[in-house]
Amino acid sequence: MDQGLNQKIDAYIAENKEQLLQDIAALVAIDSVEGTPEEGAPFGKGPRAALDKTLELAAGMGLATRNCENYIGYAELAGKDPEKYLATICHVDVVPVGNGWTADPFTMRIQDGWLLGRGVADDKGPMVATLYALKFLKEQGYELRYPIRALIGDNEETHMQDVEYYLKNYPAPVFCFTPDAEFPVCNGEKGHFGAKIVSPVCNGVICDFEGGVANNAVPDRASALLHTDITKLKNAPNITLEPAGEGCVRVRGWGKSGHAAMPQGTVNAIGLVVNYLLDNGLCNETERTYLEAVRKLHASTAGEGLGERPEPILSSRTTESDANGNTHSQDQQAQTDGTQDSSTPADSSSNTQNQSQGTDSSTANSGTPSDTTNSSQTTDGSQPNTGGQTSDTTSGTGTADSNNSNSSGTTSGTASDSSSQGTASSN
C-alpha cells in the first residue's frame, strides 16, 4: 500500500470517526439475542431489527442493499464482472447479556478509551467498519473488477441458519472472509457438535439443577437443590451452601464466564457443582451414572476426557538430506489453539474480537489490539437468571444438549456440563 493511499485512509477515518461510533451505538442499542421465531423474523424480533438497521445504514452510504427474506442480507458495491463476487461476512446477532455488567449493556459508552456494550466487538463494530470500508471505495471512485458484498448475518451465535439459507438460495462468493476475529483475517472457525444425553427420571437426592444463559457462553454461576442435611456438607472453593427449607440445601457454584470460542481461563460453574455432588456422594446411583458420563464428556474443552488428543490442524512436508546425500521426507506439524481474544480499534479499519459473557468491549482510541473481560464472580447467593434468555434447554428428566465450539451444552434434571460452557435447568 502506497503512502498516499495510507494518508487518504487516515483522513477518511478521522473525518468519519464520530459518525462511525454513532452507527455502532445505534446497532448496539438493539437487543439482538435470538428470540422466538415469528412471521418475517425467523430468528426473533431482535435479530430482524438489527438486520433492518444495518441495511438502513448501508443504504444511507449509497450502497446497494438486499434483504434475503429476513434470514440474512447484504450491502454491495458494484464491479465490472457481475458473474462473480467477493464478500465479507459479519453478524449482528449477539449472545445473551449474562452477568457482571455494571451498566446497561445495550447503551454503548466510552470508558478509558474503550467502547463498552454488547456487540461492539462481536460483531456489530466490525460490521459497521466493513460498511465504511465499502463507502471509502465508493467515494474514492475505485472501479472494481468484481462486486464486493458485505453479508449481514443474524444467526451466527446459535445455529448459523442464516448462512445455510443463503447458500441454498444465492450463489456463493468466489472468496469470502469474516472480520470477526483477530485482524487481519480469520481463516477458519471451530466446528460444532450437537448431542443429547438423557437420564431416567431420578427423584432422588437432586431436586433441580440450573445454570447458564446460552450454549456458546461459559456459565459463571449454577446451582443444585438437594435433599440433604447441610450440617454434613463440606466447604469447597467457589461453592456456597444455603439452607433451602424442608430438609433441602441449595449448592451454588461460582465460576468465571467467557465465550466458548476461547474458554482458556474460564471456570464453568455447572462443572463446579457437578464435581461437588460427585465428590461428596450427593446423588443416588442413577444420578451418579448420569453425572459421571457428563463429567467425562466435558472433562476438558478439547475432548481429552474421552481419551482423544487434539490433532494438529496445520502440517507441511519437508525434505532433508543425510550425510550420504539421500533425501528423507519429514512431516512438520504445528499445534494451534484457534483462540480469538482481542479487541477492535474504532479509529482504524482493523476488526478484531473480544467476547465474554459479562462484557463486550473494544478500544476507541488505540490502534493496538488488546482485550478486556469484566466478568464478576458474585457470592451474594442470588439465583442464576435464566429467564428470558435464548438457549436450547430441556427440563424434567435430565437431558443435556451440546451445540457449540467446545463440547458443552444445556442440562436439566441431574445433568451438567463441566468444562466449556452451557446451560442447565429443571423443575
- pLDDT value at position 184? 65
| φ, ψ of residue 129 in degrees (nearest 5) | -60, -35
Is residue 270 domain-resident? yes
- pLDDT value at position 259? 81
Boundary-marking domain end, from 140, 157, 180: 180
Domains identified in the chain, total number? 2
Whether 175 and 241 map to the same domain: the answer is: no
Q: How confident is the model at residue 312 (pLDDT cuts 50, 70, 90)?
A: low
Is there a catalytic annotation at residue 156?
yes
- pLDDT value at position 311? 58
pLDDT, average across residues 21-49 = 97
Q: How confident is the model at residue 412 (pLDDT cuts 50, 70, 90)?
A: very low
- pLDDT value at position 342? 33
- pLDDT value at position 239? 97
Identify the helix (H) or strand (E) that includes residue 402: strand 399-404
For residue 143, the enclosing domain spans 3-180
Share of the chain above pLDDT 70, in %: 67
CB 311 within 8 A of CB 421: no
- The closest of 403, 404, 402 to 415, measured between CA atoms, is 402
Chain segment 354-400, per-residue pLDDT in tens: 333 444 555 444 333 333 333 333 333 333 333 333 333 323 223 33
Q: Is 244 exposed, middle or buried (0-12, 13-18, 19+ CB in 10 A)?
A: middle
Question: Strand, coil or helix: what is 411?
Answer: strand
Cα–Cα dist 92/23, whole Å:
13
**Active-site residue (options: 31, 123, 156, 157):** 156
Whether 44 and 165 map to the same domain: the answer is: yes
Is residue 327 domain-resident? no
Is residue 220 domain-resident? yes
For residue 76, the cross-strand partners are: 64, 149
pLDDT, average across residues 120-126 = 94
Whether 169 and 39 map to the same domain: the answer is: yes
- Most confidently modeled of 191-205, 229-243, 249-263, 350-364? 229-243
Whether 152 and 230 map to the same domain: the answer is: no
Range with lowest mean pLDDT among 11-25, 42-56, 98-112, 413-427 = 413-427
Boundary-marking domain end, from 180, 211, 231: 180
- pLDDT value at position 182? 66
Whether 208 and 229 map to the same domain: the answer is: yes
pLDDT, average across residues 305-323 = 50
pLDDT, average across residues 398-422 = 35
- pLDDT value at position 343? 39
pLDDT at 425 > cutoff 70: no
pTM for this predicted structure: 0.67
- pLDDT value at position 151? 98
Top pLDDT among 333 and 274 is at: 274
Whether 75 and 220 map to the same domain: the answer is: no
pLDDT at 140 > cutoff 60: yes
Identify the helix (H) or strand (E) that includes residue 49: helix 45-60
Is residue 414 domain-resident? yes
**Active-site residue (options: 52, 93, 154, 157):** 93
pLDDT at 78 > cutoff 90: yes
- What integer best gives the mean pLDDT of the chain? 76
Whether 19 and 58 map to the same domain: the answer is: yes
Whether 255 and 147 map to the same domain: the answer is: no
pLDDT at 24 > cutoff 80: yes
- pLDDT value at position 100? 80
- pLDDT value at position 351? 34
Place of cell 424434567: 396
Cα–Cα dist 327/78, whole Å:
52
Range with lowest mean pLDDT among 6-15, 122-131, 172-181, 391-400 = 391-400
Residue burial 63-97, b: 16+ Cβ < 10 Å; e: rest:
bebeebebbbbbbbbebeeeeebbbbbbbbbbbbb
Whether 170 and 208 map to the same domain: the answer is: no
Is residue 419 domain-resident? yes
**Grid coordinates standing for 335?**
499445534
CATH code for the domain in which residue 105 is found = 3.40.630.10
Is residue 374 domain-resident? no
Q: How confident is the model at residue 69 (pLDDT cuts 50, 70, 90)?
A: very high
Is residue 364 domain-resident? no
Query: Strand 148-153 and strand 86-91: pairing?
Result: parallel
Boundary-marking domain end, from 148, 180, 212: 180
Is residue 97 domain-resident? yes
CATH code for the domain in which residue 222 is found = 3.30.70.360
- pLDDT value at position 186? 64
pLDDT, average across residues 88-92 = 96
Whether 175 and 202 map to the same domain: the answer is: no
Q: How confident is the model at residue 2 (pLDDT cuts 50, 70, 90)?
A: confident
- pLDDT value at position 304? 75
Range with lowest mean pLDDT among 136-140, 193-197, 326-330, 369-373 = 369-373
Chain segment 204-247, per-residue pLDDT in tens: 899 888 888 777 788 899 999 999 999 999 999 999 999 998 89
Whether 398 and 264 map to the same domain: the answer is: yes
pLDDT at 323 > cutoff 50: no
What are the CA-CA distances from residue 40 to residues 31, 32, 51, 69, 279 (Å)? 17, 15, 12, 8, 49
Whether 58 and 159 map to the same domain: the answer is: yes
Is there a catalytic annotation at residue 417?
no
